DNA sequence: AACTTGACTTCCG
DNA sequence: CCGGAAGCCAAGT
């Protein structure tokens, strides 16, 4: 599901989990992302928490990298927060499921 | 089996 | 709007 998030758009952990058929398992989405093989080259930076904020340790290099990548693709952060109303990815209901 | 830990979310004050 | 409490549930100890 993360791989489907288009350039310049974002999704939340809960949203990813739900779309993957795992309603209410947002933490699992985070767990999966943390353990995902680097080789998959997933656009992990497009996943934010329900408040539109980065969920990596504030001040960490990882958080800084995520912020940079987002801005690099045009996603604006206001006070460290992304306006989900404006950037949230809305998957097409008729999109073919993986597998 | 019991307890702790989270790249989380929602509700309350 | 912010912080805390509670709910959540797979993994790790």
| DSSP string covering A37-52 | -GGG---GGGEE-TTS
pLDDT given at position A31: 96
Nucleotide nearest the Cα atom of A34 (by C1'): B7
Indicate if the pLDDT at residue A99 is higher than 60.
no
Q: Which nucleotide is nearest to A81 (CA to C1')?
A: C1
Strands annotated E in A1-99: 11-12, 47-48, 77-78, 81-82
Q: Which residue is nearest to nucleotide B7 (CA to C1')?
A: A30
- Give residue-wise pLDDT tens across range A31-64: 999 999 999 999 999 999 999 999 999 889 999 9
Closest to A28 measured CA to CA, from A9, A61, A2 = A2
Q: What is the fold of A2-86?
A: Arc Repressor Mutant, subunit A (1.10.10)
With distances taken from each CA to the C1' atom of nucleotide B10, the closest residue turns out to be A50
What is the structure's pLDDT at A92?
80
| pLDDT tens-digit map of A63-92 | 999 999 999 999 999 999 999 999 999 988
A16 Cβ neighbours under 8 A, 6+ residues apart: A1, A2, A26, A29, A47
């Amino acid at each position: 599901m993360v791989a489907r998030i288009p350039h310049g758009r974002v999704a939340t952990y809960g949203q990813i989990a739900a779309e993957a058929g795992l309603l209410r398992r947002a933490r699992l989405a985070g767990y999966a992302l943390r353990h995902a093989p680097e080789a998959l080259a997933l656009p992990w930076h497009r996943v934010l928490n329900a408040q539109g904020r980065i969920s990596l340790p504030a001040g960490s290099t990882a958080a800084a990298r995520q912020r940079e990548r987002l801005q690099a693709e045009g996603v604006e952060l206001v006070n460290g927060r992304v306006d989900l109303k404006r950037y949230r990815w809305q998957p097409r209901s008729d999109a073919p499921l993986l597998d």
